[in-house]
């Protein structure tokens, strides 16, 4: 039986019975206000919820330390010495890579810096870095500091563009561009970039093309290898639900792997071949994989939650998640268009489902985003995310969000606006 989209609570419950998602696999925070016991949690684009399996699996790693001490490096059920290798295959599947191209390490901005050591190589006239004008601040800080490190004026070397202007700029000024570094999904607007088209255009202009996938990984399907992306980095605490500050990931296309004297790279204890690491040689022998970009040994207790999360994505699959994301976000968009007073806000996110992930960003008129988000939580038990001064981000995450969450969010917005 089908139900017409009338915007009622009964309709939302009906849609959830037909399309329940995987909410039972997660801890849903209790509501601090409103008439429902649990929050309608639409802030997974900022911090994902905790999978129920995380605690038990994390404690198993902690217990191994208590029982085994240093012997846990080899004798734990999940030995610590090769621990990061267990994440490589699932991470590669998630981003559309081959395992040799992928490594889980560090944090997002650290990984971007380590990768730019190799891939931002200003040379004469070709010294510019192209980013989007609404790039996440840490990306802006990172590229400006890289320009300064190379003795360049960041106000000139860093070019900020509207995403819609990137292709035209590359066609006109491509011979000045050393690096294109954009967010795969823009953090503020939720716009999904045309990663393959921009990558192809950047290469045609002679530039290196990298991607910050913080808001794309676990949100939209990715095929980094097939799209010929040079490098990418991402965090795991948003859509991947690995916990605050969890270990991040990095991708380096296989054509850059192996012995290349012209590709500089910072090295450390974990940058050398695992099989010869304990020979204690004074010169590194980096493997022909993305592991060569590792510097330090991995933090085991921070990697456990990442392993748990990646197991979930292997179990459910990005194709199924994307299909559910389109249904949930489409439902939220229809409710916003019909239930909230005209003129109260403007939706910044593209209306075309193929040009967005699960996030819808609304720009308020005459209202503080922080104030509204606080009222949504305190009065209605709806958790959203504010970006100063006037943007509220709503993200129905397909793993655990529901149609009823979307309905509650729109009901609360209508009441407050």
Q: What is the pLDDT of residues 274-296, one digit of tens each?
A: 998 899 999 999 999 999 999 99
Tens digits of residue pLDDT in 122-163: 999 999 999 999 999 999 999 999 999 999 999 999 999 999
**Domain hosting residue 46, numbered range:** 9-53+317-416
| Digit-coded pLDDT (tens) for 302-313 | 999 999 999 999
Nearest Cα neighbor of 163 from 365, 356, 363 is: 356
Are residues 282 and 358 both part of a single domain?
no
pLDDT at 238: 98
Q: How confident is the model at residue 3 (pLDDT cuts 50, 70, 90)?
A: very low
Q: What is the pTM of this model?
A: 0.96
Distance from C-alpha of 171 to C-alpha of 209, rounded to nearest angstrom: 15
Whether residues 88 and 221 fall in one domain: yes
CATH of the domain at 179: 3.40.640.10
Question: 261: pLDDT confidence band, cut at 50, 70 and 90?
Answer: low
Share of the chain above pLDDT 90, in %: 94
pLDDT band at 51 (very low <50, low <70, confident <90, very high): very high
pLDDT digits (tens, 9 = 90+) for 397-408: 999 999 999 999
**Per DSSP, what are the bridge partners of residue 392?**
362, 386
Residues 118 and 263 in one domain: yes
* pLDDT number for residue 343: 87
170 and 194 together in one domain: yes
- On whether residue 67 sits in a domain, the answer given is no
190 with 260, same domain: the answer is yes
Q: Look at residues 314, 345, 363 and tell me which one is the last residue of a structural domain.
A: 314
> pLDDT band for position 259 (50/70/90)?
low
64 within domain boundaries: no
Asked whether residue 5 carries a pLDDT value surpassing 90, the answer given is no
Taking phi over 0 as left and psi of -120 to 50 as alpha, with beta for the rest, 112 belongs to alpha
Q: What percent of the chain has pLDDT over 70?
A: 98
Instruction: Name the CA radius of gyration of the chain, rounded.
Output: 22
Kindly report which listed range (50-59, 210-219, 337-346) carries the lowest average pLDDT score.
337-346
Phi–psi pair at 292, nearest 5 degrees? -65, -20
- Average pLDDT for 365-377: 96
Q: Domain boundary residue among 259, 282, 314?
A: 314
Distance CA 362, CA 350 (A): 11
Structure confidence at residue 281 (pLDDT): 93
Co-location of 187 and 284 in the same domain:
yes
Q: What is the pLDDT of residue 258?
A: 85
> Is the pLDDT assigned to residue 4 strictly greater than 60?
no
| Residue 49 within a domain | yes
First-to-last alpha carbon distance for the chain, in angstroms, is 34
CA angle, 240 as apex, 11 and 74 as ends, to 5°? 145
How confident is the model at residue 1, as a pLDDT?
32
Residue 330 confidence (pLDDT):
98
* Domain termination residue (choose one: 291, 314, 337): 314
Within-domain flag for 72: no
Q: Note whether 263 and 193 are same-domain residues.
A: yes
Average pLDDT over all residues of the chain = 95
C-alpha torsion 76→77→80→82, nearest 10: 130
pLDDT for the residue 164:
96
188 within domain boundaries: yes
If asked whether residues 212 and 244 sit together in one domain, one would say yes
- Number of domain units in the chain: 2
| 3-state DSSP of 34-67 | CCCCECEECECCCCCCCECHHHHHHHHHHHHHHH
Q: Cα separation of 184 and 259, whole Å?
A: 29
């Amino acid at each position: 039986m089908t139900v017409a989209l009338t915007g009622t609570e009964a309709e939302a419950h009906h849609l959830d019975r037909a399309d329940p998602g995987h909410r039972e696999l997660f801890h849903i925070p209790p509501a601090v206000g409103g008439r429902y016991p649990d929050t309608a949690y639409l802030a997974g684009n900022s911090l994902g919820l905790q999978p129920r399996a995380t605690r038990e699996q994390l404690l198993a790693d902690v217990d191994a330390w208590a029982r085994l001490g240093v012997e846990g490096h080899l004798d734990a059920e999940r030995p610590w010495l090769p621990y990061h290798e267990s994440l490589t295959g699932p991470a590669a599947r998630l981003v559309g890579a081959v395992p040799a191209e992928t490594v889980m390490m560090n944090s997002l901005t650290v990984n971007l810096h380590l990768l730019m050591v190799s891939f931002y190589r200003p040379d004469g006239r070709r010294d510019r870095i192209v980013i989007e004008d609404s790039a996440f601040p840490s990306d802006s800080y990172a590229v400006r500091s890289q320009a300064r490190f190379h003795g360049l004026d960041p106000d000139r070397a860093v070019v900020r563009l509207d995403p819609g202007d990137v292709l035209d700029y590359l066609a006109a000024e491509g011979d000045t561009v050393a690096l294109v570094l954009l967010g795969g999904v823009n953090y503020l607007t939720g716009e999904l970039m045309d990663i393959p088209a921009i990558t192809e255009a950047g290469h045609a202009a002679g530039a290196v093309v990298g991607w910050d996938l913080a808001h794309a990984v676990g949100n939209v399907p990715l095929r980094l290898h097939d799209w010929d992306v040079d490098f990418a980095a991402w965090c795991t605490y948003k859509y991947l639900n690995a916990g605050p500050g969890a270990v991040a990931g990095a991708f380096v296309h296989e054509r850059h792997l192996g012995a290349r004297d012209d590709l500089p790279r910072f090295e450390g204890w974990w940058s050398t071949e695992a099989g010869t690491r304990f020979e204690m040689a004074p010169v590194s022998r980096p493997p022909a994989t993305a592991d060569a970009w590792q510097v330090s040994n991995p933090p085991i207790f921070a990697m456990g939650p990442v392993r748990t999360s990646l197991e979930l994505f292997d179990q459910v699959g990005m194709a199924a998640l994307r299909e559910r994301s389109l249904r949930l976000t489409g439902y939220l968009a229809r409710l916003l268009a019909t239930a909230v007073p005209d003129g109260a806000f403007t939706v910044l996110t593209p209306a075309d489902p193929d040009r967005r992930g699960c996030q819808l960003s609304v720009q308020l008129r005459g209202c503080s985003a922080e104030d509204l988000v606080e009222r949504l939580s305190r009065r209605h038990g709806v958790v959203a995310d504010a970006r100063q001064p006037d943007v509220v981000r709503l993200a129905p995450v397909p793993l655990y969000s529901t149609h009823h969450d979307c309905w509650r969010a729109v009901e609360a917005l209508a009441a407050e606006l």
